[in-house]
Amino acid sequence: MDKKQNIKELSYQELSEYLSSIGEPAFRAKQLWQWLWQKNVTGFDQMTNLSKKLRARLKEDFVFEPVEIYSYQQSPTDQTIKYTFRLKGNHLVEGVLIPSRSSERVTACISTQVGCPLGCKFCATGTMGLKRNLHAYEIYDHLWLLNQQSQKHFGRKLTNIVVMGMGEPLLNLDNVLLALDIITSDQGLGMSPQRITLSTVGMVKELYRLADMKPKFNLAVSLHSAIDEVRSGIMPVNKSNPLPDLVKALKYFHKQTGKRITFEYLMLAGVNDSIKDAKALADFTRNFPSKINLIEYNETPHSIFRKSPPERVREFVNFLENRNLVVTVRRSKGSDIAAACGQLVKITDRNKQLFNFDHLKPENKNIS
């Protein structure tokens, strides 16, 4: 017998066609869609405005494979909460809730791949390799759960989303765009695209494709060095996407969208934090309206890098500010629970030792 299809892998169009093929009126598609996406139910019996007969038919034809919260842990210092979600096939990905100090803003950080194939040298996720891409509904569902958890823990819905968890979003672009479409649609979560930021290492070919779609969300590029040799040394992807090509693609992106581009720059002691590096960064970012986020490196016990000392960061910032560039320095949130970006990693025994994921014991999982 064929395996039943997961109902959340159907587009609105496909759902409508299916319903009309079994003799249901057109308005059913909207009702069904609302149950699946806005109310995010996990069983057909919860769809109380559909007839028992239709529910039975849906049960015969489809299955649910819901994303579940597997565990969570809150940082005692900054209240950041890291969640581990279980996907079909027992894959685990992570998402993080980051409240601002006054909880006026709550930002969700979401994942797009189980692991990541790009192997940046400073990134824990990169050590996993790629297991698989997330389906659009899996991206949407873990965001939906984070939104629910935000209301529970911080008394408010999400205000911002960063696509900065596990994975490289431009390597799973179709599913990411589909998920963001529903997240921003009134038929989904109705969030403003202006409050969404997608972070990429800057895959050149995909950036052109994205630019032509004129997205309304914000783009952040993980630059980490504006000198080709240095960048290739810490980010192997730079070899096939070198900086001159990246500049061209980003100029095109700006032309198509009119958007300012954010550059993320991890401060790695002795690697990319000299005045020569700052000058290269200044020259690079002058090609388009831009903003620079200097990020404190999250050291892990086995990291080969160290974070830049504060006085070095200060000199770097001064250099950039004296050239009238917009610079912010971001302290990593949630670093005490390995929740900060770049520390999201699947829990294998080795990583359990590395990152001390003791909280991920099965008895912790029923938390809803």
Q: How far is the CB of 352 from ligand SF4 (least distance, A)?
A: 20
Q: Provide, rounded to whole angstroms, the least separation between the CB of residue 118 and ligand SF4.
A: 4
What radius of gyration, in Å, describes the C-alpha atoms of the chain? 22
d(CA 97, CA 152): 12
Nearer to ligand SF4, 264 or 273 (CB): 264
Which of 113/160 has CB closer to ligand SF4? 113
Site string for ligand SF4, 214-253 (x = CB under 6 A): --------x-------------------------------
341 is catalytic: yes
Q: How far is the CB of 338 from ligand SF4 (least distance, A)?
A: 14
Smallest gap from Cβ 222 to ligand SAH, in A, equals 4
Distance, C-alpha 48 to centroid of its chain:
33
Which residue, judged by CB position, is nearest to ligand SAH in the bound state? 342
Tell me the C-alpha distance between 306 and 303, whole Å: 7
- Nearer of residues 15 and 109 to ligand SF4, judged by Cβ: 109
Q: How far is the CB of 4 from ligand SAH (least distance, A)?
A: 33
Spatial neighbors of 207 by CB under 8 A, at least 6 apart, are 170, 200, 246, 249, 250, 252, 253
From residue 99 to residue 118, the character string flagging contacts with ligand SF4 as x (rule: CB under 6 A) and all else as - is -----------------x-x
Near ligand SF4 in 143-202, by CB under 6 A: 167-168, 201
Q: Does 125 bind ligand SF4 (CB under 6 A)?
A: yes
Question: Is 29 or 97 the residue whose CB approaches ligand SAH more closely?
Answer: 97
**Residue from 12, 38, 64, 119 that binds ligand SF4 (CB under 6 A)?**
119
**Strand 290-296 with 113-116, pairing:** unpaired
C-alpha distances out from residue 2 to 5, 43, 50, 140, Å = 9, 20, 26, 26
Q: Count helices and strands (H / E) in the chain.
A: 11, 14
Which residue in the list 109, 116, 120, 341 is annotated as catalytic?
341
Q: Which helix (H) or strand (E) holds 219?
A: strand 218-222
* Binding interface with ligand SAH (CB under 6 A): 122-123, 164, 168, 199-201, 222, 264, 266, 295, 297-298, 332, 340-343
**CB atoms near residue 49 (< 10 Å):** 9
Site residues for ligand SF4, 196-215, by CB under 6 A, read 201
Measuring CA to CA, how many Å separate 193 from each of 212, 216, 258? 17, 6, 14
Q: Which does 95 bind (CB under 5 to 8 A by kind): ligand SF4, ligand SAH, none?
A: none
**C-beta of 32 vs 162, nearer to ligand SAH:** 162
Are 332 and 341 in contact, with CB atoms under 8 Å apart? Answer: yes
109 classed as catalytic: no
* Least distance from ligand SAH to the Cβ atom of residue 16, Å: 34
Residues with Cβ within 8 Å of residue 19, at least 6 apart in sequence: 26, 28, 29, 32
Which of 84, 90, 140, 89 minimizes the C-alpha distance to 112? 140
User: Which residues lie closer than 8 Å to 42 by C-beta, 6 or more apart?
Assistant: 64, 66
3-state class (DSSP) for residue 125: helix
Query: Whole-number minimum distance, CB 121 to ligand SF4, in Å?
Result: 9
Q: Which does 75 bind (CB under 5 to 8 A by kind): ligand SAH, ligand SF4, none?
A: none
Q: Which residues contact 309 (CB under 8 A, 6 or more apart)?
A: 269
- Out of 120, 163, 282, 339, the residue judged to bind ligand SF4 by CB under 6 A: 120
Q: How far apart are CA 121 and CA 130, in angstroms?
A: 15
Residue 98 binds which entry of ligand SF4, ligand SAH, none, CB below 5-8 Å type-dependent: none
From the list ligand SAH, ligand SF4, none, partner contacted by residue 119 (C-beta under 5 to 8 A by kind): ligand SF4
- Residue 258 carries which side chain, given as an amino acid letter? G
Positions that interact with ligand SF4 (CB under 6 A) = 116, 118-120, 123, 125-126, 167-168, 201, 222, 342
Catalytic residue positions? Answer: 94, 341
